[in-house]
Structure 1
Amino acid sequence: MIEQMEAKLLEKSEQMAGLLQEVDDKKRVIDDQKGTIDSLESDVKRLVQEKAKMSKEIQRRSNSVAKLKKKENEVKEILEEAEKLSKRQHDAEQTIKKLRSRVKELEGDKKKAADKGLANVDE
C-alpha cells in the first residue's frame, strides 16, 4: 500500500512538474507576445505621428499649389493686359504715323498753294 501511495505520489509529482513546465512555457510565450504587442504599439504610435506629419505636409503643399495657381492666373492676366496694351500702342503709333504723313502732305499742298498764289500775284 505504501508502494502504491508512493507510486501515486511520484505520478502526481511528475504531473505537477509537467504542469509547471507548461506554465513556464506559457509564461514565456505570453512574455514574448507582450514584447511583440509593445513593439507593435510603438510602431502604431510612430506611424500615427508620421501620418499626422504627412497630413500637415500635404496640407502645406496643397496651400502652396493653390498659391502657385493663383500667381499663374495673375501672370496670365498681366500678360493678356500687356498684349492688349501693346496692340493699342501699335495702333496709336500707326495712327500717329498716318497723321504725320497727312500733315506733311498738307504742308506740301499749302506750300504749293502759297507758291501758286505768289506766282499769280507776280503776273
Structure 2
Amino acid sequence: MFQRTSKVDKINVNIISFASLLQLGDSCIINGLSRALAVQREAEIEFGDEGNFAAYRVFSEPIPFQPIYEVFSFIPHNPMPLIKVQNIDIIGVSSSSILHVGNSKHISMESRVKHIRQLLPEGHEQDM
C-alpha cells in the first residue's frame, strides 16, 4: 500500500447516512452495504409483505463484476508523499458511500434499492 500522508485543513459534511462512512486516515479493508425498500402509496393500504427483502430478486442476485482485461503498467513516483487539500465541502454522503482521506487497500461498497409504487385503479384516486 502507498505510504503517503494526508493533510486536510477543513472538512464540512452536512449529512452522513445509510451505511456511509467518513474515514480520516489509512484503512486496510472497508465494506459498506445498504439495502432499502421505498414504498409510495396513493392510499393507506398495507399488504403486509412489502418489508421482506427475500421477496425481491434485486436483493439476492449476485452483482455482475466484469473482469478487467486491460493491460497497464504503473510506476509510482511520489517525490513529495503528501496529499494536501485545503477545503472539502460535502452536502451529503449516503447509501453505502464513502468520503475517505487517506490510503486504502481494499474497498467494497454496495447499495440496492427497490422502489414500489402502489397506485389506485383509474377513477379510484383519492381527493388530495
TM-score normalized by the length of structure 1: 0.16
Higher normalized contact order (CA 8 Å, seq sep 6+, divided by chain length): 2
Q: Which has the higher helix share?
A: 1
Q: Which has the higher strand share?
A: 2
Higher-Rg member (1/2):
1
